[in-house]
Chain A
C-alpha cells in the first residue's frame, strides 16, 4: 500500500468529505482485495469494504499516529472480514442444504456471467476456500499483500510463531490437497 500523507488523514478525521474520498480512492482496492480473499464472496467483500470505511470515518479522529496507519487499516479490514465470514457461516448453517446448494450454484453462474475470471483467479479462489479463515488471513497478508511475519503478527495481534504455524499448516494442506487431486486424477 502506498504511504498515505498525514495531511489527508488529519483532514479526513475532521469530517472533510473531499479528503475522505481521496483516502477511499487511495486505499479501497487494498481493503476490498483483502476482504474478497478472506470472505471469498464478492457481495460480502463489498459489505466489508463499506463497513470498514464507515468505521474509519467514525474513528479516524482517535487515530493518534502512534502506530502505522497501514497496519491499523489492515487490522480493521481483517477483523471485519473474519466477523463477516463467521456470520455468513452461521447464516448458512441455519438454511437447508437445498437452499445452500441452489444459492451457491446461482452465485457461481451469476459471477461467471458478470466477471471474466482468468485461470489464476479461479485457482486462487479455490485454494483460499480450502483454508480455514485464520490460515487464509495469514496467507493473504503474506503472499498477496507481501507483509513480513512480524508485520502480520502486529496486524492480527498474535504471536509471530502463531503466524509461522498458520502459514505452514495452510501451505501443507494446499500441497496435500494438490497431491490428492493428482492421485485421484491418475486413478
Chain B
C-alpha cells in the first residue's frame, strides 16, 4: 500500500469503518511507515480525541420550567390543535378520493332535488292557469244564463221548468 492511498482511509480506519482486509493492510502499513504513523497520530490528536473527551452538557433548570409553562399555557387550545390535526388528516391525500366521491354524490342529489322542485312548480303553475280559465268560463256562462232568465221573467230554472 502506498502512503497517499493509506492516508485517504486514515479517518475511516480510526473510526473502525473499513472492512477487515483494508484494516489489516493499513495497520501493517502504519506500523512500518513513520510518516503515516505521525499522520494518524496528528489526526487523532487534532481532529478526533478532543471531541471524544468532551463531556456531556446539562441544560439549566430554567429550560424545563419554560417547557412546562408553555405546555400549561396551551392547555385550553389543546382541543383546537387536535381539531387542526383532524382536519389535516381529513384532507390528506389518502382521503381525497373518498372526499371526491362524497362531493359528487352531494352534487348529484342537489341537481335531482332542484329539477324535481322546478317540475313541481311548473305543474302547479299549469294547474292554476287551467283553473283560472275554468273559473273565467264559468263566470261567463253564469252571466249568460242569468240574462236569459231575466229576459223570460222566471226566477230560477226550476220555476222555468214547472211554469213554462
Residues of A within 8 A of B (CB): 15, 17, 21, 24, 28-33, 36-37, 45-46, 49-50, 53-54, 57-58, 120-121, 123-124, 127, 139-140, 142-144, 148-149, 164, 167-168, 170-171, 174-175, 178
Contact = CB atoms under 8 A, between A and B. Distances in A.
B56 A33 contact: yes
Interface in B30-60: 42-43, 46-48, 50-60
B12 interface: yes
B67 A54 contact: yes
Contacts of A45: 57, 59
Chain B interface extent, by class: 20 to 34
B51 A124 contact: yes
Contacts of A30: 56
B115 to A, nearest CB: 46
Given A21-B64, A148-B17, A171-B11, A54 B58 contact: no
Q: A-side binding surface: helix, strand, loop or mixed?
A: helix
B54 A46 contact: no
Given A124-B51, A149-B15, A174-B46, A50 B57 contact: no
B57 A33 contact: yes
B45 to A, nearest CB: 9
Contacts of A178: 42, 46-47
Nearest to A51: B67
B81 interface: yes
Interface string B97-138: 000000000000000000000000000000000000000000
A175 B46 contact: yes
19 contacts: A21-B68, A24-B64, A28-B63, A29-B58, A29-B59, A45-B57, A49-B63, A50-B66, A54-B67, A57-B67, A124-B54, A127-B47, A139-B51, A149-B17, A164-B12, A167-B15, A170-B47, A171-B48, A174-B47
